[in-house]
């Protein structure tokens, strides 16, 4: 289980990301970009460590969701993964076809 304290971003990228947020926080802001300074003090929202930890890479956030709850079978996907052409493309797939030929299978693959 992944805790929310873990950082999915490598240390080299993390330092460049924090430098970029510091650089952006010192730029002059136009009134159209500020929502309301009384409700959201901009210095605490931009440089807070909690906000920086919430940004995760796509692969790290995908791990948190887990397995999908639906089963949607599709012949197209089945042929893409287990079809003859996909078996011929890889070395292990060619070995599977050879093994099925040796056993005398009528259908070598999908």
Whether residue 77 is predicted with pLDDT greater than 80 in this model: the reply is yes
Mean pLDDT of 56-80: 81
pLDDT digits (tens, 9 = 90+) for 17-35: 555 555 555 555 555 555 5
For Cα atoms 55, 58, 64, give the angle at the middle one, nearest 5 degrees: 85
Structural domains in the chain, CATH included, are: 75-110 (1.10.287.3980)
Provide the mean pLDDT of the chain: 73
Whole-structure pTM value: 0.39
């Amino acid at each position: 289980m992944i805790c929310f304290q873990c950082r999915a971003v490598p240390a080299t990228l993390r330092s460049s990301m924090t430098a970029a947020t510091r650089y952006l926080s010192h730029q002059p802001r136009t009134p159209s970009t500020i929502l309301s300074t009384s409700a959201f003090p901009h210095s605490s929202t931009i440089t807070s460590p909690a906000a920086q930890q919430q940004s995760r890479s796509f692969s790290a956030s995908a791990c948190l969701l887990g397995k999908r709850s639906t089963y949607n079978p599709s012949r197209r996907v089945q042929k893409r993964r287990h079809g003859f052409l996909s078996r011929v493309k890889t070395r292990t797939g060619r070995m599977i076809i050879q093994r099925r030929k040796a056993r005398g299978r009528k259908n070598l693959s999908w």
